[in-house]
Amino acid sequence: MPPSAYERRKDPQKVRAALIEATTTMIAAHGLAGVTVDAVAKAAGVTKGGLFHHFHSKQALIDGVHDLIVADAEARFAALIADDPEPHGCFTRALLNSVFNPHQIGDAAPARTLCLAMLADPALQRRWAAWTEQQVARHAATDDNVPCAIVRLAADGVWLSSLHDADTPPPVSQAVRDALCAMTYPDG
């Protein structure tokens, strides 16, 4: 049973989370074109006015989904980096590991769906490019080198090639995986 309007007003975080969840579900089921403000509001159990109180537009909802997925990925990358005994290339290895082991970045389905949507949405492309540039700058001391850049580009390619089938691992041999990982180390 959905919470009453009074309960929702008392917990705007829950309303926002319900709107993001409804948007994520709709993107997964119908793509970006299938996301409508009316449908998201209805699925989240709020009025359109309630939705617009939290998100001023459909694009803001989609940006909210993107931000949630990115925040989750950043937290998981941070954990992988913290567990990595070799600082050199640690961010690139975390990224590579997440591509070959998507369960390490949480539920991969919303991220996969959003990535597919990103191919057709310039606003999402710009947001992703800005995030990537920010991460490379943040990890410049350990990952700003040609081999790591090549590995990140290869990881992007592997990720893109795996988007068509969420149940199939990326189509890359273990030897290629090992070679990419080796490139992230100082003597790689």
pLDDT reading at 160 higher than 50: yes
Q: pLDDT grade, residue 25 (50/70/90)?
A: confident
Residues recorded for the chain: 188
pLDDT reading at 99 higher than 50: yes
Q: pLDDT grade, residue 140 (50/70/90)?
A: very high
How crowded is residue 20: how many other Cβ atoms within 10 Å of its Cβ?
22
**Start-to-end Cα distance in the chain:** 56
Range in 77-86, 87-96, 137-146, 155-164 the model is least confident about: 155-164
Integer angstrom CA distances of residue 107 from 1, 73, 98, 139:
25, 10, 11, 25
Q: Which pLDDT score, from 0 to 100, does residue 147 have?
A: 97
- Mean pLDDT calculated for residue range 152-172: 77
At 28-68, the pLDDT tens digits run 788 788 899 999 999 999 999 999 999 999 989 988 888 88
How far is residue 119's CA from residue 121's CA, in Å, rounded to a whole number? Answer: 6
**Dihedral (Cα; 71, 74, 75, 76), 10-degree rounding:** 120
pLDDT reading at 94 higher than 60: yes
At 101-136, the pLDDT tens digits run 755 444 556 666 677 777 778 888 888 888 888 988
How far is residue 54's CA from residue 13's CA, in Å, rounded to a whole number? Answer: 10
User: Taking the model in full, what pTM does it have?
Assistant: 0.76
Q: Which pLDDT score, from 0 to 100, does residue 30 have?
A: 83
- Mean pLDDT calculated for residue range 70-94: 92
Q: Which residue has the higher pLDDT, 72 or 163?
A: 72
